[in-house]
Structure 1
Amino acid sequence: MSAAIPATPADAPPRRAGWGLWVVRIVAIAALLVVGWAGLTAWGAIVHGHPAYGVLLVATAIGAVTALALTIRRTARSGRSSRPTRSVVWRRVGRVALVALAVAWIGVIGWLRPYPAVEPALTAMVSDELVDVTETPTGITLAPTAGGDGTGVFFQPGALVDARAYAAVLRPLAEAGHTVVIAKQPLGIAFLAVPAFDEARSAHPAIERWVLGGHSLGGTVAAMQADDADDDVDAPAAGLLLFASYPAGDVSESLTVPVESISGSRDGLATPSKIEASRTDLPTGTGFTEIAGASHAQFGDYGPQAGDGTPELTDDEARALISEASLAFVSGTAD
């Protein structure tokens, strides 16, 4: 009787994927699902937004596909160590750490999905005989076709909000002769768009003074920028316009320009009590305009927002009142 011949590596059956490889596959598939969800639900905001988020989505998809390919290749290898060595143990620990980081990364990518602009903001992005609209990867400019006056408005969107969402509410300012520049923030975070104000001033040297404004977190950053630029010699800050927002700290003594705080009585995020508390952090003489019945998300056109209150005004009614109060303030700084 002939003895059994041991299987050679070439004859060995392919090994099954261990639980670790399945975890990697599940995480990779989850990453692709999140990328697909973001692309399907916020495609316009991604395409028209700052390119940083789009780059992260592409990098995430490439990483996920690569991870899937590597797990398939590893499963196809034959043979298995009967006893894990110390180096194998450390490799496994490293894989667990990488998987944990990947899960956190997927969460961040999903959280960074922007709120896409909706009508009438999209229509307001179209040029006509009164306003010339231009768009770059880092900003939107609404310029009066008649040339405008020497006052410009630099606006910081709220966190994760499509910059186009403010076109309709700010367009009346451009129609009245004030050039409006809306920043496209990297990853939708205003703190990452601080240099955008200097870029706007360089791009529009004819503008003599700037009103800085912003919605929510954008207003908080705009307050910092106005505080820094209120004594600029070339193109100083001439005012601060806050949409449902307040400064991060006390600027009541350092900020020397006029301030207008416009808020909503039904705001569930920048609540009326928070706006009231901000009085002591803003200069004496700051104007406070509360839009009765307006919510947080009605300061732009991007749909409902989690945590917000229920509005008692239509979007059109709220937008008209916000635009009216904004125009009165900006025009006043130009006098």
Structure 2
Amino acid sequence: MIGFWAVRSAVTLGALVSVWAAVSTGSMLVHGHPAYTVILAVTFVVCVVVAVRSWRRRVVVRRRLRPLRVVAFGLGVIVIAAVAWLVPSSADEPALAAMRSDAAVTVTEDATEIVLTPTGTVRATGVFFQPGARVDARAYAAVLRPLAEAGHLVVIPKQPLGIAFLSAAAFGGARSAHASVTQWVVGGHSLGGTVAAIDAGSFAGASTWKVVGLLLYASYPATDMSGLGARVLSVSGSNDGLATPAKIDAAKPSLPADTQYVVIAGGVHAFFGDYGPQAGDGVAGVSHDDARTQIEQASVTFVNGFDG
């Protein structure tokens, strides 16, 4: 009897959670990586089918409690919880406006990436930028668009399920797809910066399309990269409640001694993109627009330095 009602409750909840997650995700169902949409759809269909069969059964059938049934039930609960946890933070203005092409920048978007291409002369240095965990890739369009306006090709991958580690191979694909870019600055926000640091370590010594710079937004590497053969810029916020100033300072020995540090006074974690407030973040002491401008200026100055 307990198992009977547990299954009924779980699959009914799973169907409701899938609908809630789809509504909460909104336009990201179309503009995000398709992996999450597929998981939502499969979870909803499976839960509805099992729920209908379960609720139509009026008599409890006695069955032996087999380990496989317990495991299947446990995995189902985990999937439902993951569906709820993986709901992404969607982009808002001015990032959405920055997704429109104009005379200076052409914006292209497909299922796995966003590319900002200068309409004029494209510089030799391109930028590959990993979003933060469960954040809409479009949320970084406004803060990164000035790099494209300055002549740099910018690639923003759409991460499967919004997890940067699941798009660890994306930079290799970007290098091959944009062969006209002879050198790269890799960067990222939060967890995206941690994965970008791995790419920097892997490709800094490459003979072609090598990484010459690492751009960290409210982020730091997970391992010792003090010997990295590339220049590094770390931009952080003094009021960041997640990548706190203490964490940024503690990670300094893991970065090269000549790393440049820019601290946005009053800046918080969510100010490195445009996706709304973030749980656990600090209280801002500066406007989002002012913080974004400072981040843009530091980034453009850093990346421009690689082209002489």
Per the TM superposition, whether the score is higher than 0.5 is yes
Q: Which residue of 296, 307, 323 maps to 2:269?
A: 296
Q: Which residue of 71, 75, 82 maps to 1:101?
A: 75
SS in structure 2 of the partner of residue 90 of structure 1: coil
Aligned length: 308
Q: Which residue of 216, 228, 240 maps to 1:267?
A: 240
Aligned ranges 1:155-194 → 2 under 5 Å: 155-194=129-168
Conservation of the 8 A alpha-carbon contact between 1:118 and 1:302: yes
Greater C-alpha Rg: 1
Aligned ranges 1:1-335 → 2 under 5 Å: 18-75=1-58, 88-91=63-66, 94-253=68-227, 255-335=228-308
Letter in 1 for 2:301: A
CA distance in 1, matches of 2:134, 2:174: 21
Conservation of the 8 A alpha-carbon contact between 2:117 and 2:153: yes
SS in structure 2 of the partner of residue 214 of structure 1: strand
CA deviations 1:78-121 (Å, max 9, x no partner) are xx77xx5xxx3134x54444333222211111111111001100
CA distance in 1, matches of 2:244, 2:110: 34
CA distance in 2, matches of 1:90, 1:30: 22
CA distance in 2, matches of 1:292, 1:44: 33
SS in structure 1 of the partner of residue 39 of structure 2: helix
Conservation of the 8 A alpha-carbon contact between 1:194 and 1:221: yes
CA distance in 2, matches of 1:148, 1:256: 25
Conservation of the 8 A alpha-carbon contact between 2:8 and 2:55: no
* CA deviation after TM superposition for structure 1 residue 72, in Å: 3.6
CA deviations 1:301-320 (Å, max 9, x no partner) are 00011110011111111111
CA distance in 2, matches of 1:94, 1:191: 30
Normalising to structure 1: TM-score of the pair? 0.89
Unmatched 5+ residue regions in structure 1?
1-17
Percent pairwise identity: 53
SS in structure 1 of the partner of residue 172 of structure 2: helix
Conservation of the 8 A alpha-carbon contact between 1:258 and 1:333: no
Conservation of the 8 A alpha-carbon contact between 1:46 and 1:114: no
CA deviations 1:6-55 (Å, max 9, x no partner) are xxxxxxxxxxxx44333222211211121111111221123211111111
Normalising to structure 2: TM-score of the pair? 0.96
* CA deviation after TM superposition for structure 1 residue 70, in Å: 2.2
Letter in 1 for 2:121: G
* CA deviation after TM superposition for structure 1 residue 195, in Å: 1.0
Q: Which moved more, 1:313-322 or 1:163-172?
A: 313-322
State the 4+ residue runs in structure 1 displaced beyond 4 angstroms.
none
CA distance in 1, matches of 2:16, 2:297: 43
